[in-house]
């Protein structure tokens, strides 16, 4: 059997994700629960689910599979991915060894998936257990049933909110106005719980969890989805606009004028805040955009640590260096005080605290950094042979490059600008990011130049390998 072509299509590099029921259904979820119990031998497993219409059935089947194999289940119900991370780590002393979140994050409504973690909320990904599960499913491995497990349903939301507020500077948020837009995802109930504890005003937009996605797919990276948050910020004179993807593990910020703030600049802000609290600590960053983050970390007395892009790699780097924080430009933010996991709630709480203490709006906190290191934002292109394109770009720019790095794709630095070009893990996509030292026109010209080269190199391979659809980048951030 060809191990590559016969892989189950819902298994990706970091999680499961596929169209329901064609690629993922209750039967597969049940078997996955059985095999997770059989291969990893957990005592208890946390299970949570998002608001998608298919999530209750998939979660129920997953739980039934775990129970049938003799594993106890801690059912936390409708929640965000980070609440499964939190519960898995927080309940470790009570016998919890793993956690599964049923979600497809920002993907269309007919998709669903699962994110898996092991003991202490360490990610289960390809090369670290996920491949074993896929092979066992594909080959029909038999599972011996044990004494049926039991289900508990503890109320985790108050404990989770209490943990967030222990880290946040709640006094600095007094009197602020926030626009909150969960996009009909799962963040609404958490916002309500936080609002009950904070002396602040919340303007709620698309607040109720609704798996029909009546206001579009919950993905604030799509420019067409930003209007409601922007408009509400302006209408209500809010201090800060907040928007999340469906499972709210990514948080997106809008300044007091309704302007969307690129996640890259939020990384530098949060790095500075965490170094204020933990002087001299390590901060993890990724290769796509780096200069602003490195400068802010060094100026704050921290140690910048480079990691490959992707939550599994960033989390491994955080643990290896005992880093207090790690950030990705895609709006994933990781904290040592949150089991080294990503959270979509701590970032805005911390940024709002910075604003309150400084008495300055977000536009001022990031404006100078945006001028100092303007960037292109991530641009995706479909190519038939991404390895060949990377090699061609390397050959074209190597004579003038001051440095080259292959931590993740191809990073090349020059005196006044740099770029990173990397391949998608699961699709024939190539992703480009460009930044400069204070020269936006240079960013625009070099970006256009690189895109022309990528298009030329890709055209050379069109006759060799059919191109895939460029409709969306479902394995990561959407095509921009």
Q: What's the CATH code of the domain at 44?
A: 3.40.120.10
Instruction: Give me the percent of the chain exceeding a pLDDT of 70.
Output: 94
Whether the Cβ atoms of residue 407 and residue 455 lie closer than 8 Å to each other? no
Left, alpha or beta for 70 (phi > 0: left; psi -120 to 50: alpha)?
left
Binned at pLDDT 50, 70 and 90, residue 465 comes out as very low
Does residue 1 or residue 110 have the better pLDDT? 110
299 and 330 share one domain: yes
Q: How many residues are listed for the chain in this entry?
A: 480
At residue 96's C-alpha, the angle toward residues 67 and 21, to 5°, is 45
Domain identity same for 346 and 225 = no
Same domain flag for 20 and 142 = yes
pLDDT surpasses 50 at 475: no
Does 63 share its domain with 95?
yes
Higher-confidence residue: 479 or 407? 407
- On average, the pLDDT of the chain sits at 93
The pair of three-digit structure tokens given for residue 210, joined into one six-digit string: 């609704």
Could you tell me if 258 and 231 are in contact, meaning their C-beta atoms sit under 8 angstroms apart? yes
pLDDT of residue 127: 87
177 inside domain: yes
Q: Residue 243 pLDDT more than 50?
A: yes
Give the CATH number, domain containing residue 448: 3.30.310.50
Mean pLDDT (whole number) for 422-441 = 90
Per-residue pLDDT band at 142 (split at 50, 70, 90)? confident
Tokens of 267: 């990384």
pLDDT at 463: 47
Residue 466 lies in a domain: no
Strand spans (E) along 134-269: 151-152, 177-181, 201-204, 240-244, 251-254, 260-261
Instruction: Give just the sign of the alpha carbon dihedral 159, 160, 165, 168.
Output: positive
In a domain, 368, yes or no: no
Indicate whether 247 pLDDT > 80: yes
Domain that holds residue 423: 379-461
Residue 26 confidence (pLDDT) above 60: yes
Instruction: Give me the pLDDT at residue 479, please.
Output: 28
Mean pLDDT, residues 130-140: 95
Give the model confidence (pLDDT) of 279-293 as tens digits: 999 999 999 999 999
133 in the same domain as 27 = yes
Residues 321 and 397 in one domain: no
Residue 459: the pLDDT is 84
**Mean per-residue pLDDT, 103-109:** 94
Euclidean distance between CA atoms 102 and 113, whole angstroms: 6
Torsion of CA 36, 38, 43, 47, to 10 degrees: 20
Count H helices and E strands in the chain, helices first. Answer: 14, 21
Do 44 and 119 lie in a common domain? Answer: yes
pLDDT of 306 over the 60 cut: yes
Could you tell me if residue 469 is inside a domain? no
Percent of the chain scoring above 90 in pLDDT: 90
What pLDDT score was predicted for residue 476? 39
Q: Is residue 439 part of a domain?
A: yes
Q: Are 192 and 210 found together in one domain?
A: yes
What pLDDT score does 466 carry?
Answer: 43
Residue 34 pLDDT grade (very low, low, confident, very high; cuts 50, 70, 90): very high
Query: For the residues 231-259, what does the mean pLDDT come to?
Result: 98
Active-site option among 105, 121, 307, 376: 105
149 and 175 belong to one structural domain? no
Total domains in the fold of the chain: 4
Work out the pLDDT band at 144, boundaries 50, 70, 90. Answer: confident
164 lies in some domain = yes
pLDDT at 461: 62
pLDDT 10s digits, 343-392: 999 999 999 999 999 999 999 999 999 999 999 999 999 998 999 999 99
Instruction: Give the pLDDT band (50/70/90) at residue 464.
Output: low
Residue-level pLDDT at 146: 73
Any catalytic annotation for residue 105? yes
- E-strand stretches of 191-343: 201-204, 240-244, 251-254, 260-261, 282-285, 303-306, 325-327, 333-335, 341-342
Give residue 143's pLDDT. 85
Given a cut of 80, is residue 480 above it in pLDDT?
Answer: no
103 has pLDDT over 50: yes
Q: Is 374 contained in some domain? A: no
Domain boundary among 225, 259, 293: 259
């Amino acid at each position: 059997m060809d191990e590559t072509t016969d892989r189950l299509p819902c298994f990706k590099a970091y999680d499961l994700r596929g169209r329901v029921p064609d690629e993922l259904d209750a039967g597969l979820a049940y078997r996955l629960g059985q095999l997770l119990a059989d291969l990893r031998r957990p005592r208890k497993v946390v299970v949570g689910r998002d608001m998608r219409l298919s999530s209750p059935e998939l979660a129920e089947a997953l739980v039934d599979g775990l129970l049938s194999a003799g594993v106890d289940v801690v059912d936390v119900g409708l929640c965000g991915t980070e609440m499964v991370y939190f519960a898995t780590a927080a309940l470790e002393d009570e016998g919890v060894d793993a956690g599964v979140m049923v979600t497809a994050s920002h993907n269309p409504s007919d998709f669903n998936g699962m994110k898996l973690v092991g003991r202490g909320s360490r990610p289960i990904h390809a090369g670290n257990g996920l491949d074993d599960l896929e092979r066992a499913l594909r080959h029909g491995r038999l599972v011996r049933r044990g004494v049926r497990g039991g289900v508990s349903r503890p109320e985790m939301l108050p404990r989770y909110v209490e943990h967030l507020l222990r880290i946040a500077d709640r006094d600095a948020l007094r009197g602020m106005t926030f626009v909150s837009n969960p996009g009909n995802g799962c963040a609404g109930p958490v916002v309500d719980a936080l609002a009950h504890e904070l002396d602040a005003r919340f303007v709620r937009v698309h607040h109720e969890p609704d798996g029909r996605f009546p206001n579009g797919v919950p993905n604030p990276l799509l420019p067409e989805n930003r209007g409601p948050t922007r408009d509400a910020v302006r209408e209500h004179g809010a201090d800060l606009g907040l928007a999340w993807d469906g499972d709210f593990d990514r948080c997106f910020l809008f300044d007091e004028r309704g302007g969307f703030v690129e996640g890259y600049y939020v990384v530098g802000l949060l790095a500075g805040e965490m170094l204020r609290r933990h002087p001299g600590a390590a901060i993890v960053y990724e290769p796509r955009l780096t200069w602003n983050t490195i400068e802010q970390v060094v100026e704050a007395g921290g140690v910048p640590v480079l990691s490959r892009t992707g939550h599994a790699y960033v989390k491994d780097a955080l643990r290896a260096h005992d880093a207090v924080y790690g950030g990705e430009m895609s709006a994933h933010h990781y904290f040592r005080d949150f089991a080294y996991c990503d959270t979509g709630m701590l970032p805005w709480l911390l940024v709002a605290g910075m604003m309150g203490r400084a008495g300055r709006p977000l536009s001022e906190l990031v404006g100078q950094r945006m001028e100092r290191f303007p960037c292109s934002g991530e641009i995706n292109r479909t190519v038939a042979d991404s390895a060949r394109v990377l090699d061609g770009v390397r050959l074209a720019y190597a004579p003038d490059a001051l440095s080259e790095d292959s931590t993740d794709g191809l990073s090349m630095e020059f005196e006044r600008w740099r770029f990173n070009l990397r391949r998608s893990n699961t699709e024939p996509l190539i992703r480009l990011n460009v930044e400069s030292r204070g020269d936006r026109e240079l960013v625009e010209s070099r970006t256009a130049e690189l895109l022309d080269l990528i298009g030329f190199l890709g055209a050379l391979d069109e006759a060799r390998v059919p191109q895939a659809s460029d409709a969306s980048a479902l394995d990561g951030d959407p095509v921009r």
